[in-house]
């Protein structure tokens, strides 16, 4: 039989890397609690319509990247490519807008996109993110941005850059899009076929294209920042002011647009130059029309989503805390029961403990202790069992001491 491998674009995560994931996840739970975010867990698959309505049927994600399938009852289902639409759907369906306060959510989980796999990018990838509903204050934008940048700093990522822009609103964007379309039409021949198609759909996305011709042509295009309505301008100015209160440096990036249709006003992206070229770690912004679009109340929303694989790559040098293992050995199989009971007692105290059950000689047990990189090996032999003691060997210094069992805890507390 041929060997079965994990599907392309997926991967297994195990020790020692998995320690970084545990560290990162624990940090997320602890950090966002301080801002009253509550975790939300939504299904991994949803009705496909949620994403075509909530992300935009014109988007790359919906057109090319979704894992969509029919179930046995011929429903069209999709593995979630992102989580904001699901969180909004959950809030509407469970009436959370009425029964929860504050309306602040965070999530951690796998997302799925049929994308070209590359370093740090997978078809099943892990994101965490936050969402705040029902508050259109510019200070909330600033706080969400602060909670993105500050968190990355706290987990040890350096050389962070925050790019900031406003993408307008339904009042000011349509007129701007017309101007942009005109400019893009004039340069149509220089644009790649993809961007030529974007002119009619969402010309903003031409700014995202990495093709040199498109990047060149778009440099002369009109910018949304020069065409914001009064409300968007005031909101953006207040966001920047609040960021300065919070001591968050930012870089204005007038060509920063988000790939999804529902974004309004504030848009931001955080990158790190730590691994050479600037790498986007997270992106987010306001989406004041999404909740109504999905059948909910006319209510503001803002959030971000962060790519955890990328963050883990940046944690490469983080020394994963290695557990210090205690190995309980026994000189003769007749002391196995004592060894098992000692191991149980030590685990109760919180130590990671290993016992070899195979009844092999002491030399082999010590070899196993070495392979496990045990910090201490505790030996039970006739002498020890009779006298209620245990021989403890410090595996690094090779020093051995005989400790009365009743003092073992205190001894470990001092020497572990
Ligand atoms: Zn506006
Ligand atoms: Zn292009």
Q: Is the per-residue pLDDT at 62 higher than 70?
A: yes
What integer is the mean pLDDT of 43-71? 90
Q: Residue 321: its pLDDT value, please?
A: 62
Q: Is 107 helix (H, G, I), strand (E, B) or coil?
A: strand
pLDDT value at residue 110: 98
More confident residue, 289 or 129: 129
Average pLDDT over residues 234-261: 92
CA of 167 from ligand 1 middle (Å) equals: 8
By the 8 A CB rule, do 281 and 310 touch?
yes
Q: How far is Cα 32 from Cα 148, in angstroms, rounded to an integer? A: 10
- Confidence band (pLDDT; 50, 70, 90) for 320? low
Structure tokens at 173: 């964007």
Q: Measured in angstroms, how far is the CA atom of residue 165 from the centroid of ligand 1?
A: 13
Per-residue pLDDT tens digits for 81-99: 999 999 999 999 999 999 9
Q: Are both 17-172+228-314 and 326-415 of the same fold?
A: no
Tell me the pTM.
0.89
Residue pLDDT, tens place only, 271-281: 998 877 768 89
- Of the listed ligands, the closest to the CA of 208 is 2
Calpha distance 304→246 (Å, rounded): 18
For residue 51, what pLDDT is reported?
93
Task: Give 17-172+228-314's CATH code, choosing from 3.30.450.20, 3.40.50.1260, 3.30.930.10, 3.40.50.1370.
Answer: 3.30.930.10
Of 404, 164, 382, 113, the C-alpha closest to 286 is 164
Q: How far is the centre of ligand 1, averaged over its atoms, from the C-alpha of 182 (Å)? A: 20
Going from the Cα of 255 to the center of ligand 2, the distance in angstroms, rounded, reads 14
State in Å: Cα 269 to ligand 2 middle: 21
pLDDT of residue 1: 72
Ligand 1 center–CA 285 separation, angstroms = 14
Average pLDDT, the chain: 93
Around ion ligand 2, residues with a beta carbon closer than 5 Å are 192, 195, 209, 211, 214
Look at residue 55 and tell me whether its pLDDT is greater than 90: no
Ligand 2 center from residue 198 Cα (angstroms):
9
Do the beta carbons of residue 376 and residue 326 sit within 8 Å? yes
- Which residues, by Cβ under 5 Å, contact ligand 1, an ion? 168-169, 171-172, 229, 232
238-267 average pLDDT score: 91
Reduce the DSSP state of residue 112 to 3 states and report it.
Answer: strand
Domain ranges of the chain: 17-172+228-314, 326-415
* Secondary structure (DSSP) of 301-321: EEEEEEEHHHHHHHTTTS-PP
Counting ligands in written order, the one closest to the CA of 264 is: 1
pLDDT > 70? residue 382: yes
Ligand 1 centre from 254 Cα, in Å? 15
- Average pLDDT of the segment spanning 217-226: 94
pLDDT on residue 263: 84
> What one-character-per-residue DSSP string does 137-193 give?
-HHHHHHHHHHHHHHHHHTT--SEEEEEEE---TTTHHHHHHHHHHHHHHTGGGS-H
Average pLDDT over residues 152-161: 93
DSSP readout, 188-251? GGGS-HHHHHHHHS-GGGGGG---HHHHHHHTTS--GGGG--HHHHHHHHHHHHHHHHTT---E
Radius of gyration of the CA atoms of the chain, in A:
28
C-alpha of residue 222 to centroid of ligand 2, in Å:
17
Q: How many angstroms separate the alpha carbon of residue 326 from the centre of ligand 1?
A: 63
Residue 61 has pLDDT above 90, yes or no: no
How far does the centroid of ligand 2 lie from the alpha carbon of residue 161, in Å?
A: 25
Whole-number Å distance, alpha carbon 163 to ligand 2 midpoint, is 21
Q: Which fold has domain 326-415?
A: Rossmann fold (3.40.50)
Q: Is the pLDDT of residue 262 over 90?
A: no
Q: Which bound ligand lies closest to the C-alpha atom of 214? A: 2
Ligand 1 centre distance from Cα of residue 320 (Å): 47
Of 267 and 121, more confident: 267
| Average pLDDT of the segment spanning 130-154 | 97
- Return the closest-CA partner of residue 131 out of 311, 306, 307: 306
- Compute, in angstroms, the gap from residue 176 CA to the centroid of ligand 1: 10
Ligand 1 mean position to 251 CA, how many Å? Answer: 21
Side-chain half-sphere of 211: how many Cα atoms within 13 Å?
A: 14
Least confident range from 236-250, 261-275, 293-307: namely 261-275
Percent of the chain with pLDDT over 70: 97
Q: How confident is the model at residue 259 (pLDDT cuts 50, 70, 90)?
A: low
Give the Å distance between the CA of 163 and the centre of ligand 1: 20
Distance (Å, whole) CA 184 – CA 58: 18
| pLDDT value of residue 317 | 65
Sheet holding 67-70, edge to edge: 45-47, 76-79, 67-70
Range with lowest mean pLDDT among 37-51, 191-205, 373-387: 191-205
Q: In this predicted structure, what is the pLDDT of residue 319?
A: 61
Tell me which ligand sits closest to the C-alpha of residue 232: 1
Q: Which ligand is nearest to the CA of 173?
A: 1
pLDDT-derived band at 58, boundaries 50, 70, 90: confident
Please report which ligand is nearest the Cα atom of 288.
1
Q: Is the pLDDT confidence value at 387 over 90?
A: yes
Question: Closest-lying ligand to the alpha carbon of 265?
Answer: 1
């Amino acid at each position: 039989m041929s060997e079965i491998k994990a599907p392309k674009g997926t991967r297994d995560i195990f020790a020692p890397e998995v320690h970084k994931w545990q560290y990162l996840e624990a940090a997320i739970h602890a950090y966002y609690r301080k801002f009253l975010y509550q975790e939300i867990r939504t299904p991994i698959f949803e009705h496909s319509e949620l994403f075509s309505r909530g992300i935009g049927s014109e988007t790359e994600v919906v057109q090319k990247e979704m894992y969509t399938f029919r179930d046995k009852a011929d429903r069209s289902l999709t593995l979630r490519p992102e989580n904001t639409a699901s969180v909004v759907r959950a809030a509407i369906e469970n009436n959370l807008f009425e029964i929860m306060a504050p309306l602040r959510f965070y999530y951690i989980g796998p997302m799925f996109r049929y994308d070209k796999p590359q370093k740090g990018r997978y078809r099943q990838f892990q994101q965490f993110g936050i969402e705040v509903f029902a508050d259109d204050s510019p200070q909330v934008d600033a706080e969400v941005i602060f909670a993105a940048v500050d968190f990355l700093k706290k987990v040890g990522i350096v050389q962070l850059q925050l790019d900031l822009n406003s993408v307008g609103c339904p009042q000011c964007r349509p007129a701007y899009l017309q101007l942009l379309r005109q400019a893009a039409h004039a340069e149509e021949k220089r644009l790649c076929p993809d961007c030529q198609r974007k002119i009619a759909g969402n010309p903003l996305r031409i700014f995202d294209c990495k093709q040199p011709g498109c990047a060149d042509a778009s440099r002369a295009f009109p910018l949304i920042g020069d065409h914001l309505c009064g409300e968007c301008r005031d909101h953006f100015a207040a966001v920047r002011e609040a960021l300065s209160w919070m001591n968050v440096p930012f870089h204005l990036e007038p060509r920063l647009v988000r790939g999804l249709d529902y974004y309004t006003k504030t848009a931001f992206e955080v990158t790190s130059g730590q691994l050479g070229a600037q790498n986007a770690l997270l992106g987010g912004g306001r989406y004041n029309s999404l909740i109504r679009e999905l059948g909910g109340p006319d209510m503001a929303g803002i959030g971000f989503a962060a790519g955890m694989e990328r963050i883990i790559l940046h944690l490469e040098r983080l020394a994963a805390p290695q557990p210090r293992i205690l190995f309980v050995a026994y000189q003769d199989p007749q002391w196995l029961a004592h060894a098992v009971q000692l191991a149980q007692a030590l685990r109760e105290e919180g130590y990671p403990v290993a016992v070899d059950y195979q009844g092999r000689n002491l030399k082999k047990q010590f070899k196993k202790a070495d392979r496990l990189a045990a910090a201490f090996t505790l030996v039970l032999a006739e002498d020890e069992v009779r006298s209620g003691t245990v021989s403890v060997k410090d595996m690094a210094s090779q020093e051995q001491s005989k400790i009365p069992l009743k003092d073992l805890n205190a001894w470990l507390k001092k020497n572990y």
